[in-house]
Structure 1
């Protein structure tokens, strides 16, 4: 007997393996998945400009990256004793303007190269709600706690979102025609916008993204959709799968969604290597009651042998 509905997931025609180079961009759920890639030692770069929630800001960043448009002094501002950019997350903010510009421009240069070399790009869309700077009339990726009166809040239309996604795809493909896209909608609900407003926001993302995928599927088999939102809302429709805020997926949910991603988007040939990495990671986290004992020294020597053997097979893996 089945006591829950299960979301059907199509296997990727271009699965990820240990030779793949991944770039993950988007909401905080992108970071949850990236932690899994990092744990299993895949070649993955995540959110070089910090967490980005809306598709217009993602599009703006890729336009800058793909065209190698460096940040200038006019692109940053001073607020609450720190320098910020409205195009990036506050994690990158800095008390020194020049250091911020150097950090941002290094990210532009490095991400440009990563896009050229990537085999897969994973884009996680979070919300259709955006804040527009009233003075510049530009959509911001992050408000940096600037007073609310300086922004207008808007819900992006399906048409605007669709054009942003299409433009992002075109920018990336012009730089790297062989890249494989994996899109997903974040299962994190933006309840601060309101319950009805969150559903409306997600529905706009779904409509726009699936319009793009429906058009592109006839031309590109490398555009995939992974249903993380649907898994969370349907297979895991119970608050025991949420963290204490009752909004974000907890570790059990993240592990389960990763398991389904793993089964359908990672090559079976990589499973044995993932098992080796997992065993090493668990051993590295082991804490001995007697670190100086002969038994523990033998354990460490055997562990180092495993690390060296794996490094010989895959030189990019570092522990």
Structure 2
């Protein structure tokens, strides 16, 4: 008997393997998938400027990277004893203005090379709701706990989202015309916006994405993360304690579906070998000085040597 409706996902025409170079951008679900790539030792960079939820802010930071528009003093501000940038996640905020600017410009320079070298770019959109700075009239990626009265909240129109996605693709293709794109919509529910508002937000993303993707080549694909969560995993036991984010079981399952669709089958054996090594490295012996444990370590190091000879980029 089958107790769920499994969503059919076509096999990617340009799947990922261990020679692929991946850049993952977007919401906190991009971090979840990035952690999986990291665990299985794929060549992946995740959110160099931190988590960004909406299409316009992702386009904005990609434009800055592609044009190499350096961050200057006009791009940062002081609030709550730290310097921030409205285009960047608060993870990069700093008590020292010069350090913040230096760090952001270093990332700017390294990210363009990552985009140029990438074979696959994965973009996860989280919401259509945005906050516009009343003074600059610019949409911000992060409010950094600045009082809400300094912003106006608005819902991005389908047309704006469509244009923003297309602009993001075009910008990246200027520097890397052969890269492959995988778009997805985050399964995380933004209930702070409201239940109805969250559905409206997701629906705008759902309407805009196919309009863009259907006019593109086979190098642009869609992966149904949100649909898997809503239909295949339609149960609160697959949510974290906040009842908004997927729990680890759900993340593991969505990763399995992603692997089936977007990763080459000849990579599965390597993934299995990497996972066995990771489990071995995390193993804690009851008697670390025993002969049995030394034999275990010796076999583990042999496995690592064989794998790293085959894929020199893999480091444990």
The TM-score bracket by the shorter chain reads over 0.9
Q: Choose from 306, 311, 314 the match for 1:314.
A: 311
SS at match of 2:212: helix
State yes or no: 1:234 paired with 2:237: no
Specify the alignment match of 1:255 in structure 2: 252
> Shift of residue 4 of structure 1?
1.4
Specify the alignment match of 1:128 in structure 2: 128
Specify the alignment match of 2:5 in structure 1: 5
Distance 1:128 1:264 in 2: 27
Q: Deviations over 1:30-54 (max 9, x none)?
A: 0000110000000000000000000
Specify the alignment match of 1:69 in structure 2: 69
SS at match of 1:229: helix
Distance 2:272 2:176 in 1: 31
Specify the alignment match of 1:110 in structure 2: 110
> Shift of residue 102 of structure 1?
0.9
State yes or no: 1:300 paired with 2:315: no
Specify the alignment match of 1:41 in structure 2: 41
Distance 1:199 1:210 in 2: 17
Distance 1:137 1:97 in 2: 23
Q: Choose from 221, 240, 243 the match for 2:240.
A: 243
Specify the alignment match of 2:274 in structure 1: 277
State yes or no: 1:183 paired with 2:183: yes
Distance 1:115 1:139 in 2: 24
Q: Structure 2: 5+ residue runs without aligned partners?
A: none
SS at match of 1:224: strand
Q: Size of the alignment, in residue pairs?
A: 316
Q: Deviations over 1:233-274 (max 9, x none)?
A: 000000000000000000000000000000111001111111
RMSD of equivalent CA atoms:
0.6
Distance 2:152 2:193 in 1: 14
Distance 1:239 1:285 in 2: 30
> Shift of residue 2 of structure 1?
2.0
Specify the alignment match of 1:27 in structure 2: 27
SS at match of 1:272: helix
Distance 2:105 2:112 in 1: 11
Distance 1:193 1:148 in 2: 14
Distance 2:305 2:150 in 1: 55
Distance 1:228 1:195 in 2: 19
State yes or no: 1:291 paired with 2:288: yes
Equivalent runs, 1:155-170 vs 2, <5 Å: 155-170=155-170
Q: Deviations over 1:110-141 (max 9, x none)?
A: 11000000000000000000000000000000
Specify the alignment match of 1:267 in structure 2: 264
Specify the alignment match of 2:141 in structure 1: 141
SS at match of 1:300: helix
Distance 1:231 1:80 in 2: 40
> Shift of residue 298 of structure 1?
1.2
TM-score, normalized by length of structure 2?
0.99
State yes or no: 1:224 paired with 2:206: no
SS at match of 2:188: coil
State yes or no: 1:51 paired with 2:51: yes
> Shift of residue 309 of structure 1?
1.1
Specify the alignment match of 2:81 in structure 1: 81
SS at match of 1:215: coil
Distance 1:102 1:189 in 2: 35
SS at match of 1:274: helix
